[in-house]
């Protein structure tokens, strides 16, 4: 889903719906501080959020949908940060900006949900976002090239997630700039395929 689509959907949401989603997400993030994701129920989320279960189901089908909704917004902001002035190609400075974003205010929320139970959701959401972004910016018609791009983006999304997860779980031992240069180097061949 592109950032334009995300914001277009948001414009049509009521203020109450946006507020309910924020309450539900905050409740889930608070529960994650004390309980594994798989053990958190919809009832616990709605009780902590102070909303009815019906409010949850009006906005989301599952708690995975709640996390995915949050991730789509974080990834759109993250990617926008990384891609500023990147038409000439992504440079280490864009990677550094994106990595610093991981540490920022939204980064604090993403670190809370960066655990093995939710990792697959993060990778899938990031992959879908990248697919949408590149399909819009660099459309392909050759089915083989489309498939190769899909696999390259899966590889990139999974690799970036695992690297950032490890970095965050070990208290970010490298400065963002060093990690950015390394990420830029190891992702070069994949980015050339896109």
pLDDT score of 7: 42
Query: Confidence band (pLDDT; 50, 70, 90) for 12?
Result: low
> Lowest-confidence range among 41-55, 97-111, 150-164?
97-111
| Total domains present in the chain | 1
Whole-number Å distance between alpha carbons of 16 and 79:
28
For residue 12, what are the contacts with CB-CB under 8 A and spacing of at least 6?
none
Which pLDDT does position 194 carry in this prediction? Answer: 78
| Predicted local distance difference test score (pLDDT) of residue 2 | 44
What is the C-alpha separation between 171 and 133, in angstroms, rounded? 31
Q: What is d(CA 3, CA 10) in angstroms, rounded to the nearest whole number?
A: 11
SS3 194: coil
Domain encompassing residue 60: 3-193
Average pLDDT, the chain: 80
**Which of residues 63 and 112 earns the better pLDDT score?**
63
Does position 65 have pLDDT exceeding 90, yes or no? yes
Q: What is the CATH number of the domain that holds 99?
A: 1.10.357.10
Whether the Cβ atoms of residue 176 and residue 99 lie closer than 8 Å to each other: yes
- Under the banding of pLDDT at 50, 70 and 90, the label for residue 189 is confident
Is the pTM higher than 0.75? The answer reads no
**Residue 6 in this model has a pLDDT that exceeds 60:** no
The Cα 45–Cα 33 span in angstroms is 13
Residue 8, pLDDT above cutoff 60: no
């Amino acid at each position: 889903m592109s950032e334009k689509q995300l914001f277009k959907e948001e414009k049509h949401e009521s203020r109450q719906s946006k507020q309910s989603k924020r309450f539900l997400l905050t409740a889930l993030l608070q529960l994650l501080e004390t309980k594994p994701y798989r053990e958190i129920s919809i009832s616990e989320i709605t009780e902590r959020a102070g909303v009815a279960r019906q409010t949850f189901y009006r906005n989301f089908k599952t708690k995975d949908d709640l996390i995915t909704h949050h991730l789509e917004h974080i990834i759109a902001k993250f990617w926008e940060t990384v891609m500023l002035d990147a038409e000439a190609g992504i440079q280490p400075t864009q990677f550094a900006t994106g990595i610093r974003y991981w540490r920022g205010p939204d980064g604090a929320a993403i670190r809370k949900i960066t655990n093995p139970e939710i990792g697959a959701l993060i990778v899938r959401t990031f992959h879908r976002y990248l697919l949408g972004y590149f399909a819009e910016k660099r459309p392909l018609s050759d089915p083989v090239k489309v498939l190769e791009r899909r696999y390259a983006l899966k590889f990139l999304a999974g690799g970036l997630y695992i690297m950032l997860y490890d970095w965050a779980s070990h208290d970010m031992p490298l400065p963002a700039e060093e990690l950015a240069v390394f990420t830029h180097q190891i992702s070069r061949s994949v980015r050339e395929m896109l």
